[in-house]
Structure 1
Amino acid sequence: MLLKKTLIILCCLFSSTAFAERWFEVEVLIFKQRPAPYLQEDFSLKQPAITDTNTLDLLTPLYTKQAMQACIDGDKRFQQQTFTDSLVNTNPQSGVCNNSTDLMQSYDTLPLTPLAPSQESMQQTYLLSAEQLQFNSQRQALVRKGLTPLLHTGWRFAGASKSRAPSMVLFAGKNIKTALNTAPSSYENPDFISLVATKNNYFEQPAEPLSKWELEGLFKIHLRHYLFITASFDISQQLENGEIESARFSQFRRVISGEVHYLDHPRMGMIVQIRKFNH
């Protein structure tokens, strides 16, 4: 009896170890659909925020690091021009390149593909480099059809159960600002008071978020005999009155590794492939 219990325990430990060592890579290509003039869906309804208790954000640290380096290198996005500079035509002051600055707000539009370094490890989840992505022909086909790719990325991860698998934080596209968060980009206003009061919005933190990315959401993959995708996104656009309208994209699907899957929505489409990695 003792021997039987010992064998059962060993089998469970072996199965758990083998499960943890099953690594995959996923590639995701998200694009905007063409406007549908006869679309009957109402996107004016407010949706609850997309949340999860277990999330992983690999994009923000990467984009922040790249923006910080651009700031140090003197990128014009981070240069502040004072009123005195505009009068005497001198070079603008250097921006503040430290962690107190919301460097993410320096992006008007995020890169289509994050510039992640190439890796081959199996230690923790990491983004794929541009060279490791395989949907280049699909992306070119979308452009030829007049569609706009928003995000082309991927990552490697260990297979995990639904309760343990994190939801990847994904965002892309334009930085859509409300009217309250729109500041003049130049000093052509003849009003002296307006000139003095104007500030660069990269260097001040609003009391509440006044902007959002064109695409924002969570993408989760879990393993339970099969692979399952849970995707929730808001695809947003700015209306003529300055307000931001968001359409909710929600999908839950069982998928097979190696197959290319297409997830559809009136406002966006997604091409996904999960591939086995080193097994």
Structure 2
Amino acid sequence: MADENQGFMGAVWETIKTIFWALIIAGVFRTLFFQPFWIPSSSMKDTLLVGDFLFVNKMAYGYSYASCPNIKIARFGIDIDADDICGFLDGDNTRVLAGEPERGDVVVFRHPVTHQDYIKRLIGLPGDRVQVKEGLIYINDEPVKVEDGGTFTEVKEAQGPERRFPRCSNDPVGEGGQCVKERQIETLPNGVTHSTLNITDRGDLDTTKVFTVPEGEYFFMGDNRDNSTDSRVAQTSFGVGFVPYENLIGRADRIMFSSAGRSMLFFWTWRSDRFFKGIE
């Protein structure tokens, strides 16, 4: 009987050690190479849809305090911020093995105030002057090139785990109706081309002041221009403002998986046409 107990306890101990080292390896992998990211909102439509799942390339820009993951497990009362782990690296706005982001990159970054992870498109580089006039971006006093991209249509229904309804240019639209937005093809000064969505030309963020991007900081916008809280809104617990270099987490290059339902387990809501799709 003693041998059986020792054998059982030995098996339990080996299992615990295996789980422990698996978690360590996963933590190192996530910190150094790729971080999973699930799209919770519609601010980057139609480039990214609610329910898209991707891995963020952390090697693209090097490493800073923001490279350490947030560990939040509400069920067990665990709420560990990246700053709690790597806060000693915070404050000097530098990076290790640093790489420079390029205009047009889709970037995951840490909000300067709330420390939540955001994903937006990089529009303004350090020293740039950025302004929006009647929905059109001007960079260093030159308008970006815009072409008609037709319309983007989706069903007016609750989306994702947060069950939010999309905004539509043809509102009011009842649940189950066709929600329409104007699509444009935007070309940035360095030649990066991507689509944007427009709901109205009279929104609060369609005409802004001139933003001069400080050295070591960046200006971000969502592709769903009338439904994005981004650098057009002053830095508060709500607005993003300018984002310091050290707050960048990594570049989003490819969608790995996508589900239109409230859970990735609802296989009947999977969007197979978006699996392994490159992000433009």
TM range (shorter): under 0.3
TM-score, reference length from structure 2: 0.24
TM-score, reference length from structure 1: 0.24
Does 1 or 2 have the higher relative contact order (CA < 8 Å, sep 6+)?
1
**Rg larger in structure:** 1
